[in-house]
Amino acid sequence: MARILTIGVLTEDIVNTVKPTPMKIQRYARPIIIVAWVAMRRMQ
Amino acid sequence: VGGNAANAVMKLAWLKNESCWLGNLPDHATWVRQQLDHWDVDYSLAQELKQGHLPTSFITLPEETGSRTIVHHRDMPEYDAEHFLKLDIRAFDWLHFEARKLVEIPQMMSKARGMCGIPVSLEIEKPHQGVEAMFEYADVIFFSKEYAQSRGFSNANDFLKAVEFHGIATCAWGALGAWAKNDFGQMFYAPAKENVHVVDSVGAGDVFNAGMVDGICRGMDVESALQHAVLLAGDSVEHEGVVW
């Protein structure tokens, strides 16, 4: 067993894992946004 | 708990070494003390400060890409040579430093190596200006991919052959594996672990460095220590945190 000294900075890490957007949302989100945007433009 | 030196020391303790951490510690950081106690890391030499807070890293890890975005906040001063030079470090078998933007690090390394004859390793992660001035005080240097790329190299093998350092040097290159050079300039390669399910890559480089130090302290040659370090780093990314 070796006696080892490490010198440096100690931090508090706050890790946030971001999950990918579900495929269903990826598939439908864009057309829904486009339709909504076009509808809004027409209403104006 | 995070930070390069802290991750490395936790892994060294996990590998059953008598491991000590030295740096600045705010006197109110109870949670961190509990963590260090839990993993059997000695921090009795640390410099306790009344001002400032524990540095914090907010790390965002997208599962899809495996990239890392780190927002770091610190208001605590850097650990200084004045405190280090007063310490009795003769009982240690190995000292490991991380190269920071601090002109005092060579002073500390020089004391360890020159006055006490203790082997010294140095981690070079960021391409800080003038970091090369620290090379002469180290027996072993762990270079990062980022540093090699900043010097115009696109692979670790060419970088290690070219770098002007005559001790043991390593350079890990993520999923491609890691390369090392011994004191005689002989090159070694260890492929990364295959079919790894990445859960958390934070600290994998620190685990690699800890594996090298652990291997060399156990009497392994550079090639065996490199294989040992790569395996440990591969295991680490399959778990949350560097110790479990």
Q: Please say if the pLDDT value at position B66 is more than 80.
A: no
Band of pLDDT at residue B62, cut at 50, 70 and 90: confident
Band of pLDDT at residue B84, cut at 50, 70 and 90: very high
Listed residue (B188, B133, B136) closest to B165, CA to CA = B136
Residues 1-44 of A with CB under 8 A from B: 1-20
Indicate if ipTM > 0.90.
yes
Nearest by CB to A9, from B12, B55, B60: name it. Answer: B55
Torsion of CA B197, B210, B4, B181, to 10 degrees: -90
The per-residue pLDDT for B138 is 96
Residues 31-50 of B with CB under 8 A from A: 31-32, 45
Kindly give, in sequence order, each residue whose CB lies less than 8 Å from that of residue B71, ignoring residues fewer than 6 positions away. B57, B58
Q: Give chain A positions within 8 Å (CB) of B19.
A: 4, 6
B9 in contact with chain A, both atoms CB, cutoff 8 A: yes
Mean pLDDT confidence for B84-88: 94
B58 in contact with chain A, both atoms CB, cutoff 8 A: yes
The per-residue pLDDT for A26 is 78
The per-residue pLDDT for A3 is 97
Q: Please say if the pLDDT value at position B102 is more than 80.
A: no
Number of inter-chain CB pairs under 8 A, A vs B: 142
B79 in contact with chain A, both atoms CB, cutoff 8 A: yes
Band of pLDDT at residue B199, cut at 50, 70 and 90: confident
Nearest by CB to A11, from B20, B55, B92: name it. Answer: B55
Torsion of CA B149, B154, B158, B162, to 10 degrees: -30
CB B60 within 8 A of CB A18: yes
User: Counting Cβ atoms within 10 Å, is residue B97 exposed (0-12), middle (13-18) or buried (19+)?
Assistant: buried
Angle (CA) B168 B159 B211, round 5° = 40
The per-residue pLDDT for B207 is 97
pLDDT, tens digit, 9 for 90 and up, residues B12-60: 999 999 999 999 999 888 989 999 999 999 999 999 999 888 999 999 9
Nearest by CB to A10, from B12, B21, B202: name it. Answer: B21
Q: Which residue of A has its CA nearest to B206?
A: A6
CA max distance for chain A: 76
Nearest by CB to A8, from B5, B54, B218: name it. Answer: B5
CB contact under 8 A, B20 and A3: yes
User: In chain A, which stretches have pLDDT less than 50?
Assistant: none
Band of pLDDT at residue B205, cut at 50, 70 and 90: very high
Which of A7, A16, A18, A26 should one mutate to test binding to chain B, selecting the residue with the greatest count of B CBs within 10 A? A7
The per-residue pLDDT for B85 is 93
Q: Please say if the pLDDT value at position B141 is more than 80.
A: yes
CB contact under 8 A, B6 and A9: yes
pLDDT, tens digit, 9 for 90 and up, residues B159-176: 999 999 999 999 999 999
CB contact under 8 A, A6 and B12: yes
Q: How far apart are CA B217 and CA B228, in angstroms?
A: 12
The per-residue pLDDT for A30 is 84
The per-residue pLDDT for B68 is 82
Nearest by CB to A8, from B20, B97, B218: name it. Answer: B97
CB contact under 8 A, B202 and A17: no
Kindly give, in sequence order, each residue whose CB lies less than 8 Å from that of residue B56, ignoring residues fewer than 6 positions away. A11, A12, A13, A14, B72, B73, B74
> Which residue in the block uniquely carries the two structure tokens 């005080």?
B137
The per-residue pLDDT for B67 is 77
Q: How far apart are CA B121 and CA B107, in angstroms?
A: 14
Q: Tell me the whole-structure pTM to 2 decimals.
A: 0.89
The per-residue pLDDT for B101 is 74
Give B226 or A16, the one with higher predicted confidence: B226
Give residue B40's region: left, alpha or beta (phi > 0; psi -120 to 50).
left
CB contact under 8 A, B5 and A14: no
